[in-house]
Structure 1
Amino acid sequence: MTTLGIIGAGHIGSNVARAAIAAGYDVVIANSRGPETLAELVAELGPKARAATAAEAGAAGDVVVVTVPLGAIEDIPVEPLAGKIVLDTNNYYFERDGHIDALDRGETTTSEIVQRHLPTSKVAKAFNHIVAAQIATDGSPAGTPNRRALATAGDDPAAVEFVTRLYDELGFDTVNIGPLSESWRVERDRPAYVVRQNAAELEANLAIANRLP
């Protein structure tokens, strides 16, 4: 079974861990404060989870989820993630991250920033437009009427294929936005952000998104 390395143990990281373990994955999870601070979470997650440093989680994961604030991206270790699929959950919150001119002007996306930091990894957008707790609760079997859909984007077909498979295993349909340059369509303050939508509704919301406020 695939091991997910998860760098970032906040709301998104911990809920991806819960959902992935329920689907049969092994999880190695890290935060910025050290593995010893994750004892309570790992005890909750059970025997398929263990805590580690960020570098160890990156090395252990067949696929790695990077779910840290945008301002902490430069702290993500590069070499342990080389050649691997990396799922980026980020959104740009200028109140938290400070203003980033290229994002304010619509010249890049958060996922492209992650990809530039991890040039030898295969980055795909994932889990950034769903309330974190719903990752582990809103899934339903394939074929369920009105099944919730989530979006992904990526420049590497294998990365997009993995996200599509993972979403399905966790109970969600997938809408592929296209390359990382289009991932802004599903970020904060756009119509598709943190609303429950099926695949057709998600496609419609992506289509009406504006690049700039």
Structure 2
Amino acid sequence: MPRAHRPRRLAVAATALAGALAFSACEGGGDMTLSAPPTSPTTTAPPSPTTSSAPLTTVTSSSPGYVPVKPAYPSDAKEQTRAGAEAFIRYYFAALNYSWMKPDALILIDLGDETCNSCKSLSATAQELVAKNEKYTSLPARVTGIEYALGDDVNMRFVVDIHQFKSERVSSAGDVVGVDREKTLKRIVGVKWGVDRWRINLIGAG
């Protein structure tokens, strides 16, 4: 008789995303975990984005055998301009989605500044997925809007709207080990220009 498998809680040390998109502030305080504890999986269809902003990635399938497509680094993100900073933020979250669905811990290397604790936590989740041979089977989140807030040529802040989808984390055997709830998030995302590229230096409460 087949043995029933029950979802278990994900244990991600110092998590900024307890299995889905939950962020901790990079400056001035403790973690702000916004992701709910794993629950028994149910089937729901993700809603359409609520703004006209272009989606982060074209990933739409979670069928067996689906291989996530690694996002290309956009040429616009190489420019020290407001548009370049926005393109880089979109790329960062596309890379984050890929890192959890593939999984791939290398793509996030050097995208975050050393001062960004949230970036370290997000990268740690990707590393854990690789180590445990686990992955997300559907798109964890999508940026639905970005609005410039303040800054200069070196440091900029943006208000970023993010839709976190209901998503499952599964083992190599296909067992569901975590399920995260659907929600809408608003975050302040900071970027800093250094040498020849942008890096994330803040993901905080909006």
Higher RCO, 1 vs 2 (CA within 8 Å, ≥6 residues apart)? 2
Relative to its length, the structure with more helix (as a share) is 1
TM-score by length of 2: 0.25
TM-score by length of 1: 0.25
